[in-house]
Amino acid sequence: MIAQADKSGHRVVGGLMLDRVAASGRLTGWRPEGGLDLAYPLGGHLTHRLLHGAPRKIVLARHDVTVASGNHRAPSHRPDADRICAVHHFRDSGTQDNASRCFIPSIHVPGRKSSIV
């Protein structure tokens, strides 16, 4: 993706947020031995559909590019619309009060397993 962005002259690489949840659709605890993909097999655009959150993310940027708060955009820079990464947000009940949501972001690159960033 980096080489393609350099070749095409894009100074940022974009992604689209995909919320991942447990098979039950509930916020559950996570144990590392099973892996994230097994613990949270379902994906959808929950943040965007339910909370009207911005689904787009800047996942890579050149060192001199300013990225806005939340990494949703980089003023004056547009990612290549044909080269978008899936940004997986794993939903976990965590240890916070009232079972609040805890985000564990990762990037999916086609042909590779998800990796936490």
100 pLDDT more than 50:
no
- Determine the pLDDT at residue 93: 56
Distance CA 60, CA 75 (A): 14
Q: How confident is the model at residue 15 (pLDDT cuts 50, 70, 90)?
A: very high
Give the model confidence (pLDDT) of 30-42 as tens digits: 777 888 888 888 8
- Which amino acid makes up residue 63? H
How many other CB atoms are found less than 10 A from the CB of residue 83?
14
Distance CA 34, CA 96 (A): 22
Distance CA 106, CA 65 (A): 21
Phi and psi torsions of 29, nearest 5°: -75, 160
Q: Which two tokens stand for residue 67?
A: 């990225």
Q: What is the mean pLDDT of residues 23-52?
A: 82
CA distances from 54 to 34, 39, 61, 63, 79 (A): 30, 25, 18, 24, 15
- Using DSSP's 3-state secondary structure scheme, residue 111 falls into coil
Q: pTM of the full predicted structure?
A: 0.67
